[in-house]
Structure 1
């Protein structure tokens, strides 16, 4: 039986604590933590009277806009092989339904990947991440994991990666992705590249998509939840390769969608069309958000690093993944696994995080997924001020959160 996602449980727990007036620094829920861009609110409001069923895959104009978005990023994309959905999570689920075989995931990975595979009875082949980045299996370990799975009677066929990554907030370098692409080709793996955080990679010039390296076998998913902070609007998109594989998977996903969710909310199609076309106000908002996430993430990273945690320096999105095995903090708090540590921080220290086991990690590593984007303010006015601040780490809400985390950990 499926359980409620750990990330959503954390979000609801935060709502409950806030309703009781409890002060908790929310480093637990992966939301972008920013207001809606006004032009998008206006477009949505103008189209609210629309109430007919949409095209399952999205209308021609929004798919053309999505295709252009991918093309501007060097990814071959045909609008006839693009689609929309109520969030990219739905697309990934439909893809896992469409592709037969076992799912290869990096350890740790975003919570829903493994749980979606479990819901449909798929085996998950876990492969540790390399030192250079999270979100991908270590290329030096991947072939052995594939061979072992096959020797045990498995059928590894799907490689799902996140770039930039949740939970680590890191971007995969091109050389690691190139090695993965070669292994995928040699083993006939279909690649799903979740790039919903792509526009929040801090160095956009250095970003490489695995779809550029293995275009014939890669489906790229994205959405508007992260770069434009529209998580609750549920706008997802994807592009499929223009070949037999891409067409077959596209038709299968559209078929599943027709039976499960019918289509994205029709009044949001014009919003998606506008946003994916990237007019000036959208581009400016994404850049501002990226800079804010970078500054606050690095400030929080410095605290965890100073506390002795093993943690990669974030270079994308608004996450980090410190581990505490064999650290002074674990000894001081008297904890031996990730759940104990996460629970203690919430119950006794007023800091919400998620334990690494929710992301498929080994509990004894004492990993925590830390979100850095929920400290920008308690209302939209404060968040807007933080977004436009030249020194966001010294805005009151951010400073209070940093001071509290520092006091607990150092």
Structure 2
């Protein structure tokens, strides 16, 4: 019988999606499932983006340029200018989601066996992208007790070897909601320049920051023009996850020219989705202001309700729309599956993402879950009450 590749066997299951069959089974039994497992906003996609597709008169759905249409990239550059990020259209490659941008980045800067340092917990798919690229993730641990703050720079220094090519951060963070301060970015800038490394920043949640603080991009006057690679996406910003449009941004011309070769190999990003994404850039600032107010209310309600549960730890997110919760259980994977298979409260249950999949260090995060607060406040309160009742029953068993 033909054999599956070692790479294929090592590809991890998604902690966000792997419990879907159990959720579908629960729904078939008539149980309502509150989805806290996935960052799919319930905020409406801007009408201007949807209308750009509905009212389009294209006669031939043709390829676009491999780097994305020039018109769209010009408008992206203007969007960045509004956020004090000085780039041109030639510094941007449009990708099929932020996921492809990450794959292009890894492929452009690292060879098989090379290493990328990442503070963990981190976006679960970084594990999959690294395996697909033959890159080794070297984790530096941040802790829930410290609200997942950046570990001391000395911890990074200990991990740098001749194989190290980059440091990768997500800012604001998925799954933690952690927001890096200016001082932390300055420290990272110092270390990557000292060791001649790249710094990759996944900034897809840039708009979603709370408590009157400012997002710090790695291209905000930190002297990282040759080192910085930004990963971005329309998915969360405009509640357009299904568009699958992102981009890779760098002022390093060699990075861009190399990534373009990967872009050419996959031909081009989807044309209709670029049209919708280009139109979405006309979304008024009031849209984001309303969304941020809504997410802050949801965050505050969720954290308040979670802290009423005895025996849990919860980090306080400053951005994005996720938080990590440590539960009084031995195995959060088993608990999450049990909630879907065997438990309901008033014919309702909850789907969460076990957090072990957001670590690369074996045995870490086994008691933790990630919650995405993408539901309305009333549903979040109900969902937490289900988790509380579930914990009580589970620990009795």
TM-score by length of 1: 0.82
Q: Distance in 1 between matches of 2:53 and 2:280?
A: 12
The aligned residue for residue 40 of structure 1 is: 49
Report how far residue 132 of structure 1 moved.
5.6
The Cα offsets for residues 231-260 of structure 1, whole Å up to 9 and x where unpaired, read as 01111123211xxxx211112212112213
The Cα offsets for residues 42-79 of structure 1, whole Å up to 9 and x where unpaired, read as 11222373500011111111001111111211222111
Of residues 21, 34, 57 in structure 2, which corresponds to 1:25? 34
Are the structure 2 counterparts of residues 18 and 287 from structure 1 closer, same or farther at C-alpha, using a change threshold of 3 Å? farther
Report how far residue 115 of structure 1 moved.
1.6
Aligned-CA RMSD value: 2.4
The Cα offsets for residues 259-310 of structure 1, whole Å up to 9 and x where unpaired, read as 13x222112223222323x442xx2222222221221122111222232322
Q: Distance in 2 between matches of 1:312 and 1:133?
A: 5
Q: Distance in 2 between matches of 1:67 and 1:13?
A: 43
Q: Please say if residues 16 and 354 of structure 2, whose CA atoms lie closer than 8 Å, have aligned partners that are also in contact.
A: no
Of residues 255, 259, 262 in structure 2, which corresponds to 1:256? 262
Q: Distance in 2 between matches of 1:37 and 1:135?
A: 34
Q: Please say if residues 88 and 235 of structure 1, whose CA atoms lie closer than 8 Å, have aligned partners that are also in contact.
A: yes
Q: Please say if residues 135 and 161 of structure 1, whose CA atoms lie closer than 8 Å, have aligned partners that are also in contact.
A: no
Work out whether 1:90 is the aligned partner of 2:100. Answer: yes
Of residues 344, 352, 356 in structure 1, which corresponds to 2:338? 344
Of residues 299, 305, 324 in structure 1, which corresponds to 2:307? 305
Moved more, 14-23 or 121-130: 14-23
Higher helix share: 1
The aligned residue for residue 383 of structure 2 is: 401
The aligned residue for residue 122 of structure 1 is: 135
Report how far residue 11 of structure 1 moved.
4.9
Are the structure 2 counterparts of residues 300 and 318 from structure 1 closer, same or farther at C-alpha, using a change threshold of 3 Å? same
For the residue of structure 2 that corresponds to 1:7, the secondary structure is coil
Work out whether 1:247 is the aligned partner of 2:253. Answer: yes
Report how far residue 116 of structure 1 moved.
0.9
Where structure 2 has 5 or more consecutive residues not aligned to the other structure, the ranges are 1-7, 344-348, 393-397
The number of residues matched between the two structures is 368
TM-score by length of 2: 0.85
Report how far residue 340 of structure 1 moved.
2.8
Work out whether 1:5 is the aligned partner of 2:14. Answer: yes
Where structure 1 has 5 or more consecutive residues not aligned to the other structure, the ranges are 331-335, 377-392
For the residue of structure 2 that corresponds to 1:211, the secondary structure is coil
Q: Please say if residues 67 and 239 of structure 1, whose CA atoms lie closer than 8 Å, have aligned partners that are also in contact.
A: no
For the residue of structure 1 that corresponds to 2:16, the secondary structure is helix
Work out whether 1:58 is the aligned partner of 2:68. Answer: yes
Of residues 271, 274, 287 in structure 2, which corresponds to 1:266? 271
Report how far residue 406 of structure 1 moved.
4.6
The Cα offsets for residues 143-175 of structure 1, whole Å up to 9 and x where unpaired, read as 1122xxx2xxx5111111101110011211111
